[in-house]
Structure 1
Amino acid sequence: MTEDYHIDAELVQNICKNIADNVPVNTELPKNGLLHIDKLLPFICVYRYKDLDVYFSRLLKTQASYLIVEESIDISHLLEAIRLIVSEKFETFLILELWPDKEALKNQFQIYGPKDKSTETLNALKEGFSEIKKTLPIVTTKIIPTQFRHPKHLSPLSDISTTKKSGILIIGISVPVVYQNSETDELYSLFFRKFYTIFSETIKRAVYEFIRVQTTDAFENYLMLGKTHIDAVTISSDTKISEISERMSFLLRVTPVNSNEEWDKFEQNEYTVTPSFKYRLIAIDPELEKRKLFNIPIDLVEDPTIAFILRGKRLEIEKQLIMLEERGTDNFRFIGESLYGVIRKDVLVAAQHILKTYPAGEVIQGSKRFNSAEFAEHAQKEIDYYAQRFPEMDLGIEVRDDVAGIMVSKSKLLINNEMNLDAKRCDALIQHEVGTHILTYCNGKSQPLRQMYSGFEGYDQLQEGLAVIAEYLVGGLTVNRLRLLAGRVIAVNAMVGNASFIETFNLLRKSYAFPDRVAYYISMRVYRGGGLTKDAVYLAGLIDLMGYLKNGGKLEPLYTGKFNTTHIALVEELLYRDVLKQPILPSFLERNEVKERLKKLRKGMDIVDLVK
């Protein structure tokens, strides 16, 4: 066929200049085409279309380097110009030409490549695409050695003799359109999400094999071939989800405002009358918030990893909004169970083990104690340390009469003005609140994604596990603290088993020797709103983190922001891709005794030995 259109030479020159300067390229081409090059990479994915397939385009858009172009446009000069720029750093250049195959009976990925060459790249493609077979068994993959590596009705992007001289490898991939109904073109949305995630990973792994074998510029990890820069749709979606989450203030709206007054009544009635908890008025309309939530176009987020994170957070917010509507009813508890889960067997066993090993709390007498001003003085030193590392953040301490004990609000440490604590717990509490919660907030705030500081779905679990581990590492974790985490699990288990508030309260104080007021506050937290299983995740987070460290998991990435153990691999991927910046680490990790305790954790410890 005869190509009718050429790409303007000046446009090609500007594109090459940006690539050479390592400036991201996102250039619109004639007839609705698009060239995207995130950074200098030795490959590009090409899709030449007659009628643009929007969904197929989305597959290519998962990559850091792609060219989507109308088939009548001559792109040979553009590809050669890109290759010349890339060749200054890399010895070879890989072109993956991909096209959709909508034939109803052809459920096969057909990979067209050279015979007896680049077998690692071809095998990586075949192996990766075969993963789709686990979800859809009719899908097959086949490698076809041939010189013809392009759609039948088009000319080759370059003839084979030219590619050999230029150090170019072209691989053609015919992709079966199994993610759409062949008769109606209706998209199988849930399957398509899986499909494009597998597709995205497979291409990166194949390119990594090509680079590893063909060039000396080895990348440390295939994930480094992914996108670094975040597009406007992603930033907008991330921002809107974060704003809805912050506006909702879920925990604030499901926590009683009269817990202290109800304690006084409960005590006066000799623990026989169930407390009547009151809550803040809900200042948002959950229905309107849900409408806003689902108007956020997560389906247009090109990056599969970030789309997965945003989709998970949206599901969590949706359930929390429904819980606010159902506050005070049994439905509140049941929806909460679908969000936070019910008791895991290993967590319940660990809780019982802790309380059997330590059947009573520690009574500390005669030790030095700090009032709020003295504690604030010690905490200020740690705040000052991080203030130097995050000069743009508003770090500080507030001593107030409207907070219970010690808590963190974003980058502020809040201390109750009447607080009185054992001096030996001072450092542990500082590292729990400042060295974990404030530090992860500041690290997250320094990242391009707001979810990194507002928190991924279920982030509390890892946050609290990390904070308790900090207490252990600095030698300040106590029996009372460990018993409290275990007591919460026992209370949640009782509540899920349909025990009443009073039955759970009595179980804690009579069977497990918790002081009356402690048993009351544990029960209050578990029964608030109609029943909240969330308090069991704190011990679960500690158990999961101990297992993670024992299995060789890295501690450093966990300070990047606020996320759960299920997200660690995703965060590490975003760090590899330079989407996220490496985190500032806690100051206490430099202490010799901390390094020794960390070694013990990595060898594996019984949870009850954390306080020995």
Structure 2
Amino acid sequence: MPNTATAIDSFIIDSVKERLKQGKPVVQELPNNGLLFIDKLLPFICVYRYKDYDPHFAKLLKTQATFIIVDDSIDIAPLIDTIQDAISTDFSSFLIMEFWPEPNSEKAEFSISCPKAKAPGTMNALKEGFESLNDLYPNIAAVIEESETRCPAHLEPIIYDDDCKKKGILIIGIAIKPLYRSLDNTSHYALFFREFYTVFSETVKRAAYEFIRIQNADLFENYLILGKTSIDEVTKKADKELALINEGMSFLLRATPVNSNEEWQRFKKNNFRKLPNFKYRLIALDPELEKRRLYNIPIDKVDDPAIAYILRGKRLEIEKQLTMLEERGTKNFRFVGNSLYGTTKKSVYRAARKILKKFPERETKKGAVRLNCHQFAKLAQKEMDYYNDKFPDLDLSIEIRNDVAGIMVSKTKLLINDEVSFDERRADALIQHEVGTHILTYCNGRRQPLCQMYEGFEGYDQLQEGLAVIAEYLVGGLTVNRMRLLATRVIAVKSMSDGADFIETFQLLRRRYNFSERIAYYISMRVYRGGGLTKDAVYLAGLMDVLEYIEKGGKLDYLYTGKFNVNHIELVEELLYRGVLVKAELPRFLERKDVQKRLKKLRKGIDITELIN
């Protein structure tokens, strides 16, 4: 740095040195609104030296686990020396990637400058990553240049080349066209920027990983480990506020009739000719005020692309569910719900019909024992006791009540209707569905630092239900009747979506698919509740997703980490690698030998009609 550069106070240097020595993260303010952030000791750092501070450009670097954002009048060489000394025991080489905006360039171009014949894997990772933005913005190019000048034109190098060679430091300079704003700097393209900073985050980690892999031996099994471990206070607060709104909404409870048993009696008495008149819990919140709270949450301030994506998706889901509660009892309830749960996919509808074609009749076995609600609860309590020991800080309990339909889970509570009975042969499967899957994933989610891990990501129902049905198969309790039920829910959703009313769908299930009057009623009730809810089709869709995931070699362990959907698995895997999330407690039924044999069958691939135990 030139002699005119401002030196950093020795107190700051000593403070950083001490924290690194203790293995603690560093969040150190620097003069003129600068910031040094070190989440964990890694052999690379990202640098942005600014003359005119660009908050959006700074946010790009904040996606990384280690960065310096600093006024360009500050000499940061002593900081770099301090950091390199701290990592020298474990790493022989150190990478500095200096980024700066190049708004005056006429081309949509990223210029990557490096010394001759140095780190080709790192250069190629940067080039390929930035050029992947062509999917979003046309004619983007990344150009690699061998150059001795690898810093902004108006600045001196952070460290001169002779010193770099002595210290084992490689400096790469990356000039970035700020495509996320207009040329006159009056407009900011927020939606494009979200994608831009996600690609930036991924690209830099991959480039750093290539450097570490070659220069420092293969010390990390995956580039994702280079991501942030810590969650800042802004992110924690946004996550918590989202969870509070979601928790207070109790969407499914408020969308489920409280008089389903009484309406069944009336429906039967009227010879199935008069539509049921379902009643619902009063809504003790104002959806408009909740939406205002929702959009006051500053998710735009969340620097971590993976977590921001999760929170933004959940916010959109909550908004739609609040709108559905406003429209409860009308057709608009269904139309908004379709954008959340979707309509029936052709592949899922074909699978449903295939199941019903192979198993056209209900299976009846002589001597089948029925368990009343109290007998079933006694069996379920044994499983609850096991997980109570695993999660002593959570209160897992069972409630028998008259205002729920059948059996359902609410957080750590298993809710059982007081009039329902169960086939004894299905009891274990139901317990593993509700307790060994839904309650367990909630409990695992509660161990995580993100509330969404237990409240559920956007669209989490599909994977949750698919995983729960797989549990039924693995414990040997997936019967013909159960598979027929899952398939018929899809048929009922398709019937409703095609315009049939409650009675028409009820009669379709009775006459064409041979369901009893009561079962046909309850299937129809679930589908038409609230004004029409397509959620029940996700059971079979989720089952198909999980079958495909397992056959492709996916790790079942990941799926119990919390509540999320198939499209979130890679994000959860990333957060696990980064150490943001902790490993899940697995269901104890996976220890059974017969379960392990069935799981091996799934790994080899199995037709959906072959899942019958």
Give the TM-score normalised by structure 2. Answer: 0.98
- Is 1:475 paired with 2:471? no
Write out aligned runs for 1:47-446 (5 A). Answer: 47-103=48-104, 105-446=106-447
Deviation at 1:376, TM superposition (A): 3.0
Matched position secondary structure for 1:174: strand
Q: Distance in 1 between matches of 2:401 and 2:328?
A: 29
Q: Distance in 1 between matches of 2:151 and 2:291?
A: 46
Residue 550 of structure 1 is matched in structure 2 by 551
Residue 602 of structure 1 is matched in structure 2 by 603
Matched position secondary structure for 2:383: helix
Write out aligned runs for 1:575-590 (5 A). Answer: 575-590=576-591
Deviation at 1:365, TM superposition (A): 2.9
- The range that moved more, 20-29 or 191-200, is 20-29
Residues 269-317 of structure 1 deviation map (CA, whole Å, 9 limit, x = unaligned): 1111112222222221111111111111111100000000001111111
Q: Is the 8 A contact 2:487 2:540 kept in 1?
A: yes
Q: Is the 8 A contact 1:90 1:217 kept in 2?
A: no
Deviation at 1:2, TM superposition (A): 4.2
Deviation at 1:419, TM superposition (A): 4.4
Corresponding pairs, count: 612
Q: Is the 8 A contact 1:48 1:70 kept in 2?
A: yes
Deviation at 1:151, TM superposition (A): 0.4
Residues 377-396 of structure 1 deviation map (CA, whole Å, 9 limit, x = unaligned): 33233222222221212123
Question: Against the structure 1 CA distance between its residues 324 and 399, is the aligned structure 2 distance closer, same or farther, given a 3 Å change threshold?
Answer: closer
Q: Distance in 2 between matches of 1:253 and 1:402?
A: 11
Residues 458-494 of structure 1 deviation map (CA, whole Å, 9 limit, x = unaligned): 1111111111100100101111111111111101101
Q: Is the 8 A contact 1:509 1:516 kept in 2?
A: yes
Q: Distance in 2 between matches of 1:596 and 1:52?
A: 60
Deviation at 1:609, TM superposition (A): 1.1
Matched position secondary structure for 2:278: coil
Deviation at 1:367, TM superposition (A): 3.0
Letter aligned with residue 233 of structure 1:
V
Residue 594 of structure 2 is matched in structure 1 by 593
Question: Against the structure 1 CA distance between its residues 326 and 412, is the aligned structure 2 distance closer, same or farther, given a 3 Å change threshold?
Answer: closer
Q: Is the 8 A contact 2:258 2:403 kept in 1?
A: no
Q: Distance in 2 between matches of 1:380 and 1:259?
A: 26
Q: Distance in 2 between matches of 1:206 and 1:20?
A: 27
Deviation at 1:262, TM superposition (A): 1.7
Matched position secondary structure for 2:520: helix
Q: Distance in 1 between matches of 2:114 and 2:407?
A: 63
Q: Is the 8 A contact 1:118 1:210 kept in 2?
A: yes
Matched position secondary structure for 2:171: strand
Residue 10 of structure 1 is matched in structure 2 by 11
Letter aligned with residue 281 of structure 1:
L
Deviation at 1:573, TM superposition (A): 0.5
Letter aligned with residue 345 of structure 1:
K
- Is 1:537 paired with 2:538? yes
Deviation at 1:104, TM superposition (A): 5.1
Matched position secondary structure for 2:52: coil
Deviation at 1:401, TM superposition (A): 4.5
Q: Is the 8 A contact 1:2 1:72 kept in 2?
A: no
Q: Is the 8 A contact 1:258 1:277 kept in 2?
A: yes
Q: Distance in 2 between matches of 1:510 and 1:465?
A: 28
Matched position secondary structure for 2:563: coil
Q: Distance in 2 between matches of 1:43 and 1:152?
A: 23
Matched position secondary structure for 1:274: coil
Residues 193-241 of structure 1 deviation map (CA, whole Å, 9 limit, x = unaligned): 0000000000000000000000025211000000000000100010111
Structure 1: runs of 5 or more not aligned? none
- The range that moved more, 314-323 or 410-419, is 410-419
Give the TM-score normalised by structure 1. Answer: 0.98
Deviation at 1:422, TM superposition (A): 2.5
Q: Is the 8 A contact 1:560 1:582 kept in 2?
A: yes
Deviation at 1:510, TM superposition (A): 0.3
Q: Is the 8 A contact 2:259 2:403 kept in 1?
A: no
Letter aligned with residue 20 of structure 1:
K
Matched position secondary structure for 1:31: coil
Residue 488 of structure 2 is matched in structure 1 by 487
Q: Distance in 2 between matches of 1:133 and 1:369?
A: 61
Q: Distance in 2 between matches of 1:272 and 1:583?
A: 50
Q: Distance in 1 between matches of 2:462 and 2:510?
A: 26
Q: Distance in 2 between matches of 1:315 and 1:501?
A: 29
Q: Distance in 2 between matches of 1:89 and 1:561?
A: 34
Residues 64-112 of structure 1 deviation map (CA, whole Å, 9 limit, x = unaligned): 0000000111111111111111111111111001001111513210001
Residues 32-77 of structure 1 deviation map (CA, whole Å, 9 limit, x = unaligned): 0001000111111000011110000000000000000001111111
Q: Distance in 1 between matches of 2:492 and 2:595?
A: 33
Q: Distance in 1 between matches of 2:370 and 2:497?
A: 38
Structure 2: runs of 5 or more not aligned? none
Residue 32 of structure 1 is matched in structure 2 by 33
Q: Distance in 2 between matches of 1:309 and 1:603?
A: 32
- Is 1:508 paired with 2:509? yes
Letter aligned with residue 546 of structure 1:
L
- The range that moved more, 91-100 or 103-112, is 103-112
Residues 493-520 of structure 1 deviation map (CA, whole Å, 9 limit, x = unaligned): 0111111111111101000001111111
Matched position secondary structure for 2:150: coil
Q: Is the 8 A contact 1:101 1:174 kept in 2?
A: yes
Q: Distance in 1 between matches of 2:132 and 2:544?
A: 31
Matched position secondary structure for 2:385: helix
Question: Against the structure 1 CA distance between its residues 333 and 376, is the aligned structure 2 distance closer, same or farther, given a 3 Å change threshold?
Answer: closer
Q: Distance in 2 between matches of 1:114 and 1:58?
A: 27
- The range that moved more, 65-74 or 424-433, is 424-433
Letter aligned with residue 355 of structure 1:
L
Q: Is the 8 A contact 1:560 1:583 kept in 2?
A: yes
Q: Is the 8 A contact 2:411 2:439 kept in 1?
A: yes
Matched position secondary structure for 1:91: coil
